[in-house]
Amino acid sequence: MRPDVLLTVSPTNSDTRGFVLVVFLGFIVAILFMGVFIGPEDNDVDGFYTAGRRGGALGGALAIAGALVSADMVVAVGGFVAFSGYDGLFVALCSVMSLLVLLLLTARLRGRLRYTLGDLLVERAPGPAVRLAGAVVTLCAVLPLLILTLVGGGVSIARFLGLSGTGAEQTVIVLFGSLIVLATIFGGMRGTRILQIVKTVVLFMGLGTLVFLVFWRLDGDVGTLFGSAAVSNGQPGAIFRTGLGLSNSDGSLSRLDFAGLVLTTVLGAALMPHVTMHLKTVSDGGRAQSMVRRSIFVVAVFAVFVGVLGLGASALVGNETIIATDPSGNATVDLLIVELVRGLSSSTGGALLIVLVACGTFVTTLAVVAGITLAAATTISHDLYAKLLGGGRVNQAHEVSATRWASAGVGALGIMLAVAAVEVNLRWLANIAFSIAASCILPAVLHVLYWRRCTRAGLLSMLYGGLFCTLVLQFFSPVFSGERAALFPHQDFSWFPLHTASLISVPIAFLLGSIGNAVGTRRRTTADHGLRPRAHHGT
């Protein structure tokens, strides 16, 4: 649960709140107008799912960065950098390394990928069971991230608008969540892609402005930034070497925990369905590779920005103040913004900064939620409805209509769960989402693309086995019970010591896949031998 003191952290006051609200609402109207009216003009499936595959490499790079970099990532990693220095900076670069993993797979993945993970899997092992498994894994991966993004974005927007209290935050989540779902329903992939491009540009402007103000307060001296952050941390030399992020007052992080966090992000972040779906928006594998290469540069710039903001918060706000406000560090960036606004001599300048940050937070939430909702809705309408229930005989207009209804359903479910969980610490949901991608999606994709002996039994073993292992280990980990920041802080039923499951679940998924492939190959060989005598006799 967030501390009550966070409800008082609002950079706006009675003099600037009206100006901020008017400009912010105008920005919302313009963005939603753009997202809705730039959407597909007909009910063509390819146009709705892939924007006609006519996207450019630069726009695609900005869209991938927009899908990958969320407001929650900025908040969480910024706080980690403030507390741990070098280790936090390393975590900030994990998203860049994740895109490097995606780049290695892009050429083959773009050539084999149609619309969903299920489409990719059934090319290697046709049948409804594999498609259903792909749909289940996709939904289990994206729904936790949807809830986390809605809660984080709604709370941040409410705070920047000067609204306090759980009821106000829940109202903001419902209102803005509904607008985002409407943009997804009418915008399709084309509208989502444009929103993510705009999000990347606005977020770059917002974070860039904050970074500029940090250096302006520190006289443009990088040495002062690191030196002040080191003094604030209380261990001046520790922030420049690894190890500070490996333990805290609760002993909740270990070396294995840190390695698991890195592995989870590197192997899972860029393989999330709402990220890989952008590979379909370009015409060929060459453009897809160019798109991913450019996105690496864009995300690297954001990683540097987040690192500077974390160190800047430590230097200007002080770690004691951050910990007193929120021991988890989630208020780090908010406190830095408050400090930067107070340092401006003009109230108008402070109001403009708040407008920029609020607009950036909204469009970031809008773009990420729209992408996640579309990825989930595509899986429901294409895999479950059109292919499994409809047997592949559903016409394009009905499938697009089903996607729009599925978007509404997914959005409504996400909003209800976000409203119910607004006071709960949900940072662990990102770990679950990325762990599922690393433990299920990555092994399955690697086997389909590179392992000719991949069988249906192997894919099902990897997908369901990796998913089951991830969920069980996470449920019995400290993120659910036994710690102050756990979902059930007053209970302790944890026996798995790590906060992320990937160090165990990824190897187990590959092992289960190997066993399944061996069993599937043996069954296929036995069946072939059994058919030969009948074939010889013409049966």
56 class by beta-carbon count within 10 Å (0-12 exposed, 13-18 middle, 19+ buried): middle
Q: What is the pLDDT along the chain (539 residues), one digit of tens a residue?
A: 344 444 444 555 556 667 777 887 888 888 877 777 776 666 778 888 887 788 788 889 999 999 898 888 888 888 888 888 777 888 888 989 999 999 999 988 888 888 899 999 998 888 899 999 999 999 999 999 999 999 888 888 887 777 777 888 889 899 888 888 888 888 888 888 888 999 999 999 999 999 999 999 888 888 888 888 777 766 655 566 665 555 444 444 567 888 888 899 999 988 999 999 998 888 888 888 999 999 999 999 999 999 999 888 888 888 788 888 877 777 888 888 888 888 776 667 777 888 888 888 888 888 899 999 999 999 999 999 999 988 878 888 888 999 999 999 999 999 999 999 888 777 788 889 999 999 999 999 999 998 888 889 999 999 999 999 999 999 998 888 877 777 787 888 888 888 888 999 999 999 999 999 888 665 554 544 443 443 333 33
The confidence score (pLDDT) of residue 110 equals: 86
Compute the distance between CA of residue 254 and CA of residue 157 in angstroms, rounded to an integer: 34
The confidence score (pLDDT) of residue 530 equals: 46
DSSP 489: T
The confidence score (pLDDT) of residue 480 equals: 85
* 336 touches 435 (CB < 8 A): no
Structure tokens at 354: 């708040």
Q: How far is CA 384 from the centre of its chain?
A: 23
Query: What CATH number does the domain located at 4-536 have?
Result: 1.20.1730.10
Residue 226 dihedral angles phi and psi, to the nearest 5°: -70, -40
The residue ranges of every structural domain in the chain are 4-536
The confidence score (pLDDT) of residue 529 equals: 44
The confidence score (pLDDT) of residue 7 equals: 44
Q: CA-CA-CA-CA torsion for 317, 265, 62, 309, nearest 10 degrees?
A: 10
